[in-house]
Amino acid sequence: MEFAHPEALVSADWLAEHYQDPDIRIVDATHHLPISERDAKEEFGFRHIPGAVFFDVDDICNQETDLPHMIPSPESFAERVGRLGIGNEHRVVVYDTAGGFLAAARVWWMFRLYGHVKVMVLDGGLPQWGRRRLPVEKGRKRVKGAKFKAGFNPAMVRDITQVQANLDSGAELVVDARSPRRFLGQDWEPRKCKRLGHIPGSVNLPFPELMVSRKDYLYRSPDEMADAFAKAGIDFSKTVVATCGSGLTAAVLAFGAYLLGHENVAVYDGSWAEWGNREDLPYDRSGPHPGEDGGITPAAAE
């Protein structure tokens, strides 16, 4: 089995050959949890792939809500990425320090949401780049602005009203990317939350199931990835809606599904940060009990 969209996932070796191409734009989308006491923007200044610009998901977002990194308007997105020197003519390569398993997939999804299909994720992210002793640079450079025209594909995103309506219709399958213990309400949430558990009727596929290991941070083979989706009971004959803690790692599932050729995966933007704080909405804490290794590390617990 091969990926249906292999062009969406590039290796460090490929990028090493192409990072200086004039039509390539490299984006560092690193994001850390608020409790980590780490500053991704500051770390970018210490070390990043040459020519990269920093995409702050907590800045390029809807600033009029208390919910974390909700999508901005198309006009706002276009203006901000244009300031980063990215135009519609460019091929965009997105990476993060978690191998592409946190905000890199989210930024990939955002570009596609706003109509830009020439976007790729760096497999293994900065860790794989570093292991190959490829060049890095420090500091920040001024970039020349570019013209970016944004569209918008509403089929790729869901809001709370749509997810609530699906409780009755069951037309779409909601898949939760969080750890089993968080899905069952047995573990903490990294953000303040009134209730623990999951959206009724949803199934659980923790996003690390799509990676080779937490040491390599590489995406699994097509067969292994397809098997992970199948074991989670995901039927792609239905439209799939991915959710997580705040809308970041839900995009990992959307990205993995896209690699396999399943393009009918939307992201519930508010995710549990929104649903878990709404006392008027139902929630569930039932399901199979996770094994001892069912949890994931706090650093990857978006």
**Given pLDDT bands bounded at 50, 70 and 90, which one contains residue 279?**
very high
CA separation for the pair 72, 8 (Å, rounded): 23
* Average pLDDT of the residues in 219-231: 97
pLDDT tens for each residue of 160-207: 999 999 999 999 999 999 999 999 999 989 888 899 999 999 999 999
* Average pLDDT of the residues in 256-272: 97
98 near 106, Cβ under 8 Å?
Answer: no
CA separation for the pair 91, 219 (Å, rounded): 21
Strand pairing class (91-95; 24-28)? parallel
Angle, CA 109 vertex, CA 43 and CA 156 arms, to 5°: 150
pLDDT at 286: 86
Q: Which residue has the higher pLDDT, 224 or 290?
A: 224
**Given pLDDT bands bounded at 50, 70 and 90, which one contains residue 218?**
very high
* Average pLDDT of the residues in 144-151: 96
Over the chain, what is the mean pLDDT? 93
Given the residues 70, 244, 257, 296, the one annotated as active site: 244
**Residue 299: is its pLDDT beyond 50?**
no
**Residue 295: is its pLDDT beyond 60?**
no
pLDDT at 296: 34
**Residue 35: is its pLDDT beyond 80?**
no
**Residue 239: is its pLDDT beyond 90?**
yes
Retrieve residue 40's tokens: 């991704």
Partnered with residue 174 across adjacent β-strands are: 241
* Average pLDDT of the residues in 281-286: 93
**Residue 293: is its pLDDT beyond 60?**
no
Retrieve residue 113's tokens: 């949401």
Q: Which residue has the higher pLDDT, 215 or 199?
A: 199
**Given pLDDT bands bounded at 50, 70 and 90, which one contains residue 213?**
confident
CA separation for the pair 116, 265 (Å, rounded): 17
What single letter denotes the amino acid at residue 100?
A: G
**Residue 5: is its pLDDT beyond 90?**
yes
pLDDT at 297: 34
**Residue 88: is its pLDDT beyond 50?**
yes
Retrieve residue 252's tokens: 């990992």
Please report, to the nearest 10 degrees, the dihedral formed by the alpha carbons of residues 153, 156, 161, 163 taken in order. Answer: 160
* Average pLDDT of the residues in 269-290: 89
CA separation for the pair 299, 302 (Å, rounded): 8
Query: What radius of gyration do the chain's Cα atoms show?
Result: 18
Beta strands in the chain (DSSP E): 9-10, 24-28, 53-54, 91-95, 119-122, 157-158, 172-176, 203-204, 239-243, 265-268
* Average pLDDT of the residues in 237-262: 97
pLDDT at 33: 82
**Residue 214: is its pLDDT beyond 90?**
no
Q: Give which of 172, 193, 179, 198 is closest to 267, Cα–Cα.
A: 172
pLDDT at 289: 54
**Residue 4: is its pLDDT beyond 90?**
yes
198 near 176, Cβ under 8 Å?
Answer: yes
CA separation for the pair 207, 67 (Å, rounded): 21
**Residue 237: is its pLDDT beyond 50?**
yes
* Average pLDDT of the residues in 80-94: 98
SS3 25: strand
Which ranges of the chain does DSSP label H, i.e. alpha helix?
Answer: 12-18, 40-46, 74-83, 103-113, 125-131, 160-169, 180-183, 222-231, 250-259, 271-275
**Residue 20: is its pLDDT beyond 50?**
yes
Residues 6+ apart with CB under 8 A from 121: 8, 9, 10, 93, 94, 95, 100, 104, 105, 108, 255
Share of the chain above pLDDT 90, in %: 86
CA separation for the pair 183, 189 (Å, rounded): 10
Active site annotation includes 193? no
208 near 178, Cβ under 8 Å?
Answer: no
